[in-house]
Structure 1
Amino acid sequence: MMSSRRYALKASDVTLCALVCLAGVAVTALVLILFVGSEQRTVSVAFQLEVDERFSRLQRRFNTQVLKLDVVRRFFINADDVTEKEFLGFVTPLVGEDEAYSWVPRILEKDLQAFRTKALLNGTSDFSYHEINPVTGEIVPLASRPEHWILLYLLKRDDVKIIPGMDVLARPGRQALMSKARETHQIVVSEPLKMTNGQSGVFFVAPVFHESSEATLNDDGLQGFVVSTVRLASLMEQGIPLPSLQRLNVTLSLIDGEHQGPTIYQSLAPATPSTLYAQRLLKVADQNYLLQFRPSSTFLVANSHALYTSLIVVFGAGLTLLMTLLVYLLITQRTRALSLVEERTQDLRLLNITDHLTGVYNRRYFEELMERLLIEANAQYQPLSLIMFDIDHFKYINDRWGHQCGDNVLKSLCTRIRSATRKTDLLCRTGGEEFALICPGSELDDTRLLAEKLRALISTLPFDETGQVTCSFGVATWVPSESFDAFVRRADSAMYSAKSKGRDQVQLADS
């Protein structure tokens, strides 16, 4: 009897051990699957965030090059005659590392001698007419042709010596690029060309034309070209922290129509085999580029969770001895689930306070912000300003180009506004084409200057599909004890006053 009982206990122990072992293996396997899936999603999100941040930096770099070149172009359009001293004084603050800016006027054959005399009088030194043989690369005398594109002024950071007087028409790559700019009357971007320092660079060319009244019937009025060059590697890497450069493999390719062209840039960090991949379309002036992103070994190592996987396996093996570990793992998973729920709750809140089209704050949150900021301004005696603005003739844009084009204008407008304002400034969409920009701590004069800056930023840079778009702005600063409705009404009235006075302007609200 005792022997039989002792056998039964041993059998139950074995059975219990077997059940615990099976339960531990099953739970460990389940937790491992969930963990791996979750970490894969986490790594994917981290990769997308890294890609978005890098793309944003590159987009700003390329767009800044176009904007700076356009500023110099407008300088030549508005100036009757620019000396070398004036050119250097205006352009020097714009030139960064690995960049160069040059002025290439158009000179007729009959005007060469007079132009050289004038250039020397304006302070240009070492002026000598010449051109580069495209086959041998040697400097040769100037060939006779009806017109010449003469390099007159040049500002660059490297030590390569270039004598003014070189005819760019002799270089096929430069000639084709400038001819395209001349035909389209727009800023154009080159494929990678060899710079004077021997490195691969990108050329941005902006044509400068006389006013239409000055152009003759047989002359298009071309005055010359403003050219900026920047080393391609510098354009892709400058300003980006080294750790960020090492985490991603980035390739840049030209897009010819619907087809991907050759790769013109590849980062030094080699790509590591992975399912992670992203691509972005980068539009710069008349050129489209394809940016492709892949993770490097540095990124995968930094986001590797092999250690955690090993720990789960070790803890899972301990389930056969310690049932308490099962409780610990369940609590850990529960905490993680609650964290995910909290994240989703935050996402839902963000969706509730933002405009689904533009991504800026919506009308409801605008009212909440204003109520709170008015209380803070009153308690802390801090200024609070408000800019109300809307798009002029927005109905015409929708009617002519369609609502999809109108939506694109709204999104592009918000992108421009946010790129030119402080982090503390709060952009809200209060209606169809109506917006409000809350400027905490900003006095009336500063807010007016900001509104003028935004107005110029919007009206001077054409939108992709519609061309020029303008906005009317109303600016008001809160008066102590003023109600929310009265404050908004004053800014709104100023905006409509701007519309009634011709649009595309800034009006200050009455005190």
Structure 2
Amino acid sequence: MMPFRKSALKASDVTLCILVCLAGVAVTSLVLILYHGSEQRTVAVAFQLEVDERFSRLQRRFTVQDLKLDTVRRFFINADDVTEKEFMGFVTPLVEEGETYGWVPRILEQDLQVFHTKALLNGTSDFAYHEINPITGAEAPLTRRPEHMVLLYLSKRDDVKVTPGMDVLARPDREALLKKARETHQMVVSQPLKMSNGQAGVFFVAPVFKESSEAPVNDESLQGFIVSTIRLASLMEQGIPLPSLQRLNVTLSLIDTQHQEDNIYQSLSPAAPSPLNAQRLLKVADQNYLMRFRPTSTFLSANSHASFISLIAVFGTGLTLLMTLMVYLLITQRARALSLVEERTQDLRLLNITDHLTGVYNRRHFEELMERLLIEANDQYQPLSLIMFDVDHFKRINDSWGHQCGDNVLKALCTRIRSATRKADLLCRTGGEEFALICPGSELHDTKRLAEKLRAVVSALPFEEAGQVTCSFGVAAWMPSESFDAFMRRADSAMYSAKSKGRDQVQLANV
């Protein structure tokens, strides 16, 4: 009996060792599988956050570029005759590295000599009519045309070899772009082009039509074009920290019927082998761009937890402790990831709907709010009013005290307006110095009183540095079944009526 018992005990010990070993192997394998899956999800969340942040920066960069060009366009609309000194004084602060801004007026063939004399009297240097042969790149005399689009002023930061007097219509691609902007009355963007410094870039064109309350805007009121060239590398990389540039591989593709997803920009950091990828659609003026994002080896290294996997495999004998620690790590990592996702989501949403300078709602969110409120007003038979206003002589403030002072005036103005309105009223910045105040549930006479109150609040006390500042207000009440565009036009027309009647006053829109 004894030998059998000894043999049985040994067998049970072996069995227990095997069971413990198998249990340890099973639990360790399960922990490794769970951790690996969690790591992949965490890395995926971190990648999406990195992509969202980069895309938000790039979207804002393109939007700022659009706004700057529109600001220069409005400068020419509101000015009667702009000299080279005035142009440089206004545009130079806007020009960043890799950018150029130019003014291309429309000149009839019979007015060439008169315009040449006027340009020299205005101080334009090295002004001589010429055009560039699109094949050889050499200068040539002007070709006779009914009209010419001649580069008059140019502000640049890079060594761009362009002289005043060049007829832009000599190049077929530029002529087609100007024609498109002229016909649509909208800003347009060129196909990718090779700039004079050899780098890839794009060409922005914004038509300038002389606005008049007496006659509608038509082709004959075209004054010229604001043009701008921008290096793609500057648009895609300027202002982004170097560590962020090294974590993502970014490609930019132009989407149209002729060039389906041609890559026009490729970041320097190469993509690493990984299933992670993302893409975003970006619309700039009349062009659609596709951005693709892939992680680099720098990103994968920064988000790798291979050492933890090795640690779990080495210390597999402490399965219970490792299980407890693993659960704790999984819970805390998931909580941190979700918290970060929520925080970044809120930040990105706030960034997308607010104006970065004043903190009020931006134009895009203004249009979204109006679309929703118009539907609610129509369904619930509720009144809805709109106040459009802008700062009087804002260009004079910028010219006299500088753009920083102008920015401070806009911020202080929004603070005053907010202090005098209801919580339900929605303040939005719709342009450079233009604002809109949406007043849900407010009748026309109540809104007019509010506008008069706001006018007094703005003009009552002087602004720091700029002194007394006034605003012109236009007030409109929504009429049932009226479209958003019609509603906006009435309020906008009322505001321009206030400006034309002496400024610093409130005008009601026509019914």
2:406 corresponds to which residue? Answer: none
TM-score, reference length from structure 1: 0.71
Alignment of 1:335 with 2:303, yes or no, is no
Residues 192, 200 of structure 1: 8 Å contact kept? yes
Q: Does 1:447 align with 2:415?
A: yes
1:265-276 paired onto structure 2 within 5 Å: 265-276=265-276
- Map of 1:234 onto structure 2: 234
Stretches of structure 2 lacking an aligned partner (at least 5 in a row): 352-358, 381-410, 461-511
Distance in 2 (CA, whole Å) between partners of 1:201 and 1:93 is 21
Give the equivalent residue in structure 1 for 2:69.
69
Matching of residues 369-384 of structure 1 within 5 Å: none
CA distance in 2, matches of 1:218, 1:71: 21
Call closer, same or farther: CA 1:130–1:344 in 2, change over 3 Å: closer
Residue 146 (str. 1) matches residue 146 (str. 2): yes
1:499 and 1:54, CA in 2 relative to 1: closer, same or farther beyond 3 A?
farther
The Cα shift of 1:333 comes to 2.7
Match of 1:472 in 2: 438
Q: 1:157 to 1:459 in 2, by over 3 A?
A: closer
CA separation of 1:141/1:219 partners in 2, compared to 1, >3 Å: closer, same or farther? same
What displacement does 1:161 show? 3.4
Are 1:286 and 2:279 counterparts? no
Kindly tell me: are residues 50 and 496 of structure 1, through their superposed partners in 2, closer, same or farther at Cα, counting changes over 3 Å? farther
Partner of 2:134: 134
Distance 1:69 1:330 in 2: 60
For 2:146 and 2:90, the matched residues in 1 are separated by 31
Are 2:375 and 1:398 aligned? yes
Q: Is the 8 A contact 2:151 2:165 kept in 1?
A: yes
The residue aligned with 2:84 is 84
| C-alpha contact 1:189 1:284 (8 A) present in aligned 2 | yes
1:459 to 430, 448, 456: 430
AA partner of residue 330 (structure 1): M
The alpha-carbon deviation at position 4 of structure 1 amounts to 3.5
Structure 1 residue matching 2:220: 3-state secondary structure: coil
* Post-superposition offset of 1:170: 0.3
For residues 185 and 105 of structure 1, what CA distance do their matches in structure 2 show? 15
SS of the residue corresponding to residue 331 of structure 1 reads helix
Deviation track 1:126-150 (CA, whole Å, cap 9, x = no partner) reads 1110000011111111111000000
CA contact (8 A) 1:214 1:221 kept: no
Matches within 5 A, 1:239-388: 239-256=239-256, 260-316=260-316, 319=317, 325-339=318-332
Match of 2:471 in 1: none
Instruction: Count the aligned residue pairs.
Output: 412
What is the alpha-carbon distance in structure 2 between the residues aligned to residue 504 and residue 203 of structure 1? 45
C-alpha distance in structure 2 between counterparts of 1:148 and 1:305, whole Å: 64
Per the normalisation by structure 2, the TM-score is 0.71
Distance apart, 1:62 and its partner CA: 0.5
What SS is found at the alignment partner of 1:96? coil
Deviates more, 1:31-40 or 1:207-216: 207-216
Question: 1:138/1:301 Cα in 2 relative to 1: closer, same or farther (>3 Å)?
Answer: same
* Unpaired stretches in structure 1, ≥5 consecutive residues: 320-324, 361-384, 404-442, 462-467, 475-491
1:398 is displaced (CA, Å) by: 2.5
Instruction: Classify 1:328/1:295 alpha carbon distance in 2 versus 1 (closer, same or farther; 3 Å).
Output: same
Alpha-carbon RMSD? 4.2
Distance 1:14 1:134 in 2: 88
CA distance, structure 2, for counterparts of residue 130 and residue 390 of structure 1: 45
Change (3 A) 1:445 1:117: closer
* 8 Å CA contact 1:103, 1:225 repeated in 2: yes
Contact 1:106 1:147 in 2 (8 A): yes
Q: Which residue of 2 aligns with 1:479?
A: none
Q: How far did 1:335 drift?
A: 1.6
Letter in 2 for 1:161: K
Residue deviations 1:284-333 (CA, integer Å, cap 9, x gap)? 121111111111122222222222222221122xx2xxxxx122112113
1:207 is aligned to 2:207: yes
CA distance in 1, matches of 2:256, 2:379: 27
User: How far apart are residue 119 of structure 1 and its match?
Assistant: 0.4
Q: How many percent of aligned residue pairs carry the same amino acid?
A: 63
Name the counterpart of 1:437. Answer: none
CA–CA separation in structure 2 for the residues paired with 1:402 and 1:209? 39
What is the CA–CA distance in structure 2 between the aligned matches of 1:248 and 1:460, rounded to whole Å?
Answer: 33
Q: 307-316 or 340-349: which moved more?
A: 340-349
2:116 aligned residue? 116
Give secondary structure in 2 for the equivalent of 1:460. Answer: coil
Deviations 1:51-103 (A, max 9, x none): 00110110011001000000000000000000000000001110111111100
Moved more, 9-18 or 83-92: 9-18
Q: Amino acid of the residue matched to residue 21 of structure 1?
A: C
Q: For residue 194 of structure 1, what is the aligned residue in structure 2?
A: 194
- Cα deviation digits, residues 465-497 of structure 1 (max 9, x gap): xxx9943379xxxxxxxxxxxxxxxxx999995
Q: Is the 8 A contact 2:105 2:151 kept in 1?
A: yes
Distance across 1 between alignment mates of 2:108 and 2:366: 48
Residues in 2 aligned to 1:116 and 1:262: alpha-carbon distance in whole angstroms: 42
Instruction: Measure how far apart 1:445 and its partner are.
Output: 6.3
Structure 2: which amino acid aligns with 1:235? L
- In 1, distance between residues paired with 2:203 and 2:341? 45
Alignment of 1:399-414 (within 5 A): none
CA contact (8 A) 1:495 1:507 kept: no
Contact 1:215 1:221 in 2 (8 A): no
Q: Aligned partners of 2:104 and 2:283: how far apart in 1? A: 26
